[in-house]
Amino acid sequence: MIITELLSRNAELYGSEICLTEINLDLQDSHNVIWKEYELVENNPAGEYRRDMTWRVFDEKANRMANLLIKRGIKRGDKVAILLMNCLEWLPIYFGILKAGALAVPLNFRYTEDEIKYCLDLSEASVLIFGPEFIGRVESIYDKIPQVKMLLFAGEDRPSFAENYDRLTANCSSEDPRVEIFEGDDAVIYFSSGTTGRPKAILHTHSSLMSAVYTEYEHHRQTLDDNFLCIPPLYHTGAKMHWFGSLMAGSKAVLLRGVRPEWIIKTVSEEKITIVWLLVPWAQDILDAIESGSINLEDYDLAQWRLMHIGAQPVPPSLIRRWKKYFPHHDYDTNYGLSESIGPGCVHLGVENIHKVGAIGVPGHKWQIRITDENGVPVEQGQVGELTVSGPGLMKCYYNDPEATEAVLKDGWLFTGDMARMDEDGFVYLVDRKKDVIISGGENIYPVQVEDFLRSHDAIKDVAVIGLPDRRVGEIAAAIIELKPGVECTEEEISAFCNAMPRYKRPRKIIFDSVPRNPTGKIEKPRLREKYGADHIVATQIEI
């Protein structure tokens, strides 16, 4: 089966049922309003709005998009880039590209103009669809991307150098173009986070997309009665692939534009949300808001909320213990994946395994995992090695980069770059990114372990541990600590707290600062190394 067939099936079976709702609880940032047709919620002077879409309209909009592309000469295998904030039209555009037999190329909305150009060039995109937030960035490069033959603008006040997406698609047929598509055909190009350099273009087939559907559905068993709250950016595999469970079930989903704790809880209550996927910082913010009194759970109807799951980065066990204190009835799951493995699910904890919180889990649906040494040989149980995965959602390659592909894809196994260990029950625990391991005086320090320990301190909201150059021992561990709002704490207090750790693991430098994270919640350690590395070279005299 091809993923677009699921959309057509839902349009036939549940055509009049609402499938997507877009909610914006703050219109003060007027540039975030892409579409003129939003409906203002009654009796809400603050400017709250929502828009709904049925499965039939979703399918029709996707068909119009596909027919427009075909009419303009876009062929099977051509690439169409999407540069939009989360909005109700995002997924119909994505599915329309797929229905045309073209490849969808989602772009990170935080990209600079240079990064946009780089990704368009690397992916060989011939069409770019963009929203009003990106007019300036696209205007600065549109005459430097000659391979892009069509610029479509999604929004009001169209710039002169682009065509109006809404008007053009309105004049196209809403019937399925019925382009013949096969499971092995190329479908999408996603870009890596770029936390270690330039983003890589990750090529997946239609078979990969369907594997993500089956994996998500198998893990979380969505039903027609579920309602999924989608907050993370749709350009990333994480949010979209979790929504694939809703696609499989024919159930509803809500796109919430904003991450304030009060907005999340309000939306869960009023929209009768049953499943929420959060990033670690958002879960922490919700708990902090509850504990500070700014959220009173008794003010909300949350009885239907059955599942909270987290992915995209290591999850501190202390966070889940706090979560279960306030939401004891919730099922919980941890999801691990990479864009190279079509997003979340190649490893997952499983809702039945909450006693193993701290682990990322066991092999996902139809996936295999190994922990290997630098030569790809499996290590003994309990030893630290590199996590490698194999399964139906592996990328085809890094597009136009055979050298990078060869470095990570070997005999059907993806070398993830994550260091991990497996316990006696077969559960995998992330230790750290291979490139983030700190070698201090010959000892390996895994920052994630130190971060998990520090997050158990009552004053700490977030923390990142990085290696700083040291003349004597090579590197030392430095902890960048973000305190909870209104809380005071000293270096001496943190150092005393760290005495419970083995001496060699203790941070040798404490820095109070905010912890930067990218849109998918990953700590941007290269930024921290750049900020602190050169100016904090010290000669330690500490016994190791």
Which residues partner with 256 through β-bridges?
A: 23
What integer pLDDT is reported at residue 472 of this predicted model? 62
Residues 441 and 427 in one domain: no
Question: Side-chain half-sphere of 312: how many Cα atoms within 13 Å?
Answer: 28
| Average pLDDT of the segment spanning 194-210 | 85
Residues 443 and 398 in one domain: no
What integer pLDDT is reported at residue 442 of this predicted model? 61
Candidate from 60-74, 227-241, 441-455 with smallest mean pLDDT? 441-455
Residues 46 and 145 in one domain: yes
Residues 404 and 441 in one domain: no
Rounded to 10°, the helix 3-13/55-71 angle is: 130
Contact predicate 67/16, CB 8 Å: no
Residue 271 lies in a domain: no
| Average pLDDT of the segment spanning 475-491 | 91
Task: Classify strands 18-24 and 49-54 as parallel, antiparallel or unpaired.
Answer: antiparallel
SS (H, E, C) 244-301: HHHHHHCCEEEEECCCCHHHHHHHHHHCCCCEEEECHHHHHHHHHHHHHCCCCHHHCC
Residue 301 lies in a domain: no
Question: What digits encode the pLDDT tens for the residues 439-448?
Answer: 776 677 878 8
Angle subtended at Cα 274 by Cα 335 and Cα 337, rounded to the nearest 5 degrees? 10
Residues 132 and 14 in one domain: yes
Strand order in the sheet with 307-311: 39-40, 49-54, 18-24, 252-256, 227-230, 275-278, 307-311, 331-338, 343-348, 362-363
Residues 422 and 446 in one domain: no
What integer pLDDT is reported at residue 317 of this predicted model? 83
Contact predicate 399/123, CB 8 Å: yes
- Asked which of 378, 403, 433 is the last residue of a domain, the reply is 433
Candidate from 48-52, 348-352, 510-514, 535-539 with smallest mean pLDDT? 535-539
Q: What's the helix, strand, coil split of the chain in %, to 5?
A: 35, 30, 40
What integer pLDDT is reported at residue 363 of this predicted model? 96
Residues 65 and 211 in one domain: yes
Which element (helix H / strand E) includes 20? strand 18-24
Question: What digits encode the pLDDT tens for the residues 363-383?
Answer: 999 999 999 998 889 999 999
CATH number for the domain spanning 315: value is 2.30.38.10
- Asked which of 408, 433, 458 is the last residue of a domain, the reply is 433
Question: What digits encode the pLDDT tens for the residues 206-229?
Answer: 999 999 999 999 999 999 999 999
Residues 426 and 450 in one domain: no
Highest mean pLDDT among 26-30, 49-53, 311-315, 368-372: 368-372
Contact predicate 481/454, CB 8 Å: yes
Contact predicate 216/244, CB 8 Å: yes
pLDDT at 29 over 60: no
Question: Side-chain half-sphere of 262: how many Cα atoms within 13 Å?
Answer: 8
Contact predicate 220/245, CB 8 Å: yes
Residue 69: phi and psi, rounded to 5, are -60, -45
Residues with Cβ < 8 Å from 355, sequence gap 6 or more? none
- Would the pTM of this model clear 0.75, i.e. be above it? yes
Query: Residue 162: which domain range?
Result: 3-258
Sign of dihedral through CA atoms 94, 97, 101, 103? Answer: negative
Residue 280 lies in a domain: no
Provide the number of structural domains found in the chain.
3
Residue 290 lies in a domain: no
Strand order in the sheet with 79-83: 163-164, 150-153, 125-130, 79-83, 103-106, 186-191, 201-205, 397-398
Candidate from 380-394, 412-426, 487-501, 521-535 with smallest mean pLDDT? 521-535
First to last CA, the chain: 58
**Residues listed for the chain:** 544
- Asked which of 384, 400, 433 is the last residue of a domain, the reply is 433
Local structure of 231: helix, strand or coil: coil
Q: How many CB atoms lie within 10 A of CB 122?
A: 19
Residue 217 lies in a domain: yes
Residue 253 lies in a domain: yes
Residues 204 and 156 in one domain: yes
What integer pLDDT is reported at residue 144 of this predicted model? 96
User: Which percentage of the chain shows pLDDT scores above 90?
Assistant: 69
Is residue 42 very low, low, confident or very high in pLDDT (cuts 50, 70, 90)? very low
Is residue 519 very low, low, confident or very high in pLDDT (cuts 50, 70, 90)? low
pLDDT at 37 over 60: no
| Of 375 and 98, more confident | 98
Residue 181 lies in a domain: yes
CATH number for the domain spanning 156: value is 3.40.50.12780
Question: What digits encode the pLDDT tens for the residues 125-177?
Answer: 999 999 999 999 999 999 999 999 999 999 989 999 999 999 999 999 999 99
What integer pLDDT is reported at residue 520 of this predicted model? 63
Question: Side-chain half-sphere of 121: how many Cα atoms within 13 Å?
Answer: 14
Candidate from 14-18, 57-61, 231-235, 313-317 with smallest mean pLDDT? 313-317
Angle subtended at Cα 58 by Cα 54 and Cα 62, rounded to the nearest 5 degrees? 170
Residues 425 and 450 in one domain: no
pLDDT at 541 over 50: no
Residues 375 and 523 in one domain: no
Residue 423: phi and psi, rounded to 5, are -85, 180
Question: Side-chain half-sphere of 93: how many Cα atoms within 13 Å?
Answer: 28
pLDDT at 196 over 70: no
What integer pLDDT is reported at residue 478 of this predicted model? 92
What integer pLDDT is reported at residue 301 of this predicted model? 96
CATH number for the domain spanning 532: value is 3.30.300.30
Spatial separation of the C-alpha atoms in residues 83 and 90, rounded to whole Å: 9
Local structure of 396: helix, strand or coil: coil
Residues with Cβ < 8 Å from 474, sequence gap 6 or more? 439, 440, 441
Residues 146 and 248 in one domain: yes
| Of 174 and 467, more confident | 174
pLDDT at 457 over 70: yes
Token output for 340: 């190279």
Average pLDDT of the chain? Answer: 89
Where on the phi/psi map is residue 497: left (φ > 0), alpha (ψ -120 to 50), or beta? alpha
Residue 294 lies in a domain: no
pLDDT at 35 over 50: no
What integer pLDDT is reported at residue 528 of this predicted model? 87
Is residue 536 very low, low, confident or very high in pLDDT (cuts 50, 70, 90)? very low
User: How many whole angstroms from its chain centre is CA 1?
Assistant: 25
| Average pLDDT of the segment spanning 348-356 | 92
Is residue 542 very low, low, confident or very high in pLDDT (cuts 50, 70, 90)? very low
Contact predicate 517/527, CB 8 Å: no
pLDDT at 109 over 70: yes
Spatial separation of the C-alpha atoms in residues 216 and 218, rounded to whole Å: 5
DSSP 182-201: -TTSEEEEEE---TTSSPPE
What integer pLDDT is reported at residue 469 of this predicted model? 82
